Amino acid sequence: MKRMNTQATSCNDIASDDDLDVPELTPEQLAQGRPFKEAHPEAYRRLTAGKTRITILLDNEVLDAFRQQAESRGCGYQTLINATLREELARRQNTEKALEETIRRVLREELAEIAAASHR
């Protein structure tokens, strides 16, 4: 049986329902069921570690788009929103680092030219 990645960063990191070898529950089993959080508190803590439950208002169009994309990819829309936010944060970090490196390089070149001109 394939296990779900609890630290998924994209929909591709998650097992789909087709990948899981788990039989459907009968109505009797469902009636006897308890919330996962209560039935398996340690597993629940591992699954939610590093995550915070929030309430957020999103435009209907944005939410609909994420739901459609998530359905076509076979994952949850919240997972897709989280993955998209992670990717954007990484992109911004890389952009900021590249900008900082460029500024430092230009300053070094300019300072070298000024130093060379003052020694002439």
**pLDDT score of 107:** 93
**Degrees, nearest 5: CA angle 14-51-96:** 90
Using alpha carbons, select from 95, 11, 86, 92 the residue that is nearest to residue 51.
86
Using alpha carbons, select from 82, 92, 90 the residue that is nearest to residue 7.
82
The confidence band for 83, taking pLDDT boundaries of 50, 70 and 90, is: very high
Looking at the predicted structure, is the pLDDT value of residue 57 above 70? yes
pLDDT (average), residues 4-8:
45
pLDDT (average), residues 57-65:
97
**pLDDT score of 2:** 39
**pLDDT score of 59:** 97
The confidence band for 1, taking pLDDT boundaries of 50, 70 and 90, is: very low
Instruction: Tell me how far apart the alpha carbons of residues 32 and 98 are, in angstroms, rounded to a whole number.
Output: 56
Look over the chain and give the mean of its residue pLDDT values, rounded to a whole number: 85
Looking at the predicted structure, is the pLDDT value of residue 25 above 60? yes
